[in-house]
Amino acid sequence: MPRFSHDGVEIAFLDEGEGAPIVLVHGFASNKEVNWVFPGWVTALTRAGRRVIALDNRGHGQSTKLYEPAAYHSAIMAEDVRRLVDHLGLGRVDVMGYSMGARNTAFLALAHPVRVRSAVLGGLGMHLVDGVGLPETIAKGFEAPNLADVSDPIGYMFRAFAEQTGSDLRALAACLRGSRQVLSREEVGRIAVPLLVAVGTKDPIAGSPDQLAALVPGGQVLAIPNRDHMLAVGDKVFKAGVLAFLERRP
């Protein structure tokens, strides 16, 4: 598995296929395999003639685990993506993020528009502006002595998922507490790259995709029918819509 290091943080990534590069940024408590390989994204994109790069965010997968919330600021995690692009010697790339990864993608597009050819925000709508992401109860669930001690339903679901993927619970608790930044409406309006906001129609976590896309000149919306936050990830409508968007973008 390829890796690179910066500032004492080692980032694991995959790099497959040939063609125009797209970087994939996974969601909270997931990893590159669970978010992008297993649901078929890497296969779909490489078959469409894309070079696919997917990283494990800090605190996740095979990347360095950190235990201070401040290490997981959305702008810092966005810089991990930018440094990966530099490490690979790439100029401009398409970037697609899901949930927390979409938040990081938005911060990246705002800070480095010359490096981002287009951005896809999956599983994140207006809560980029008016919400701080997942509830604190999830972090408390990670800190409980055992899964059976977690009474909050959402906390229980995330704790069970994290245990299934062999995640570092302490690092995830720090990440959740540290990556809760928002962008203002004015900041979102300054995102100057082609933008697609893709959200399941039954997703209560993301916030309105239409309201977010309306803040960005030329922003587009992809509604993923009858999918919630978890099930939208591998949906065929999601894949087809992203591939069409990538073909249309300048």
Q: Phi and psi for 196 in degrees, rounded to 5? A: -120, 125
Residue-level pLDDT at 162: 94
Do 199 and 99 form a contact (C-beta atoms < 8 A)? no
Sheet holding 50-55, edge to edge: 3-6, 9-16, 50-55, 20-25, 93-98, 116-122, 195-200, 220-224
CB of 27 within 8 A of CB of 35? Answer: yes
pTM: 0.97
170 token code pair: 């302490």
Q: Does some domain include residue 161?
A: no
10-residue stretch averages of pLDDT, the chain, 250 residues long: 94 98 97 97 98 98 98 98 98 97 98 97 97 88 97 93 93 96 97 97 95 96 96 97 94
Distance CA 74, CA 79 (A): 9
pLDDT at 178: 96
pLDDT at 250: 79
Answer yes or no: is 142 within a domain.
no
| Locus of tokens 């991990």 | 80
| Residue-level pLDDT at 134 | 82
Q: Does 173 fall in a domain?
A: no
The encoded tokens of residue 114 equal: 């010359």
Domain membership of residue 185 as a residue range: 3-132+181-248
Residue 106 lies in a domain: yes
Calpha distance 241→198 (Å, rounded): 9
Question: What is the domain count for the chain?
Answer: 1
Q: What is the pLDDT of residue 91?
A: 92
- Within a domain: 166: no
At 172 the pLDDT is 98
Give the pLDDT of residue 131. 85
A 10 A CB-CB count for 225 gives 10
pLDDT at 231: 95
What pLDDT score was predicted for residue 223? 98
d(CA 161, CA 107): 27
In a domain, 30, yes or no: yes
Report yes or no on 87 lying in a domain.
yes
**Domain assignment present for 141:** no
CATH number at residue 99: 3.40.50.1820
- Backbone dihedral angles phi then psi of residue 152, each to the nearest 5 degrees: -70, 125
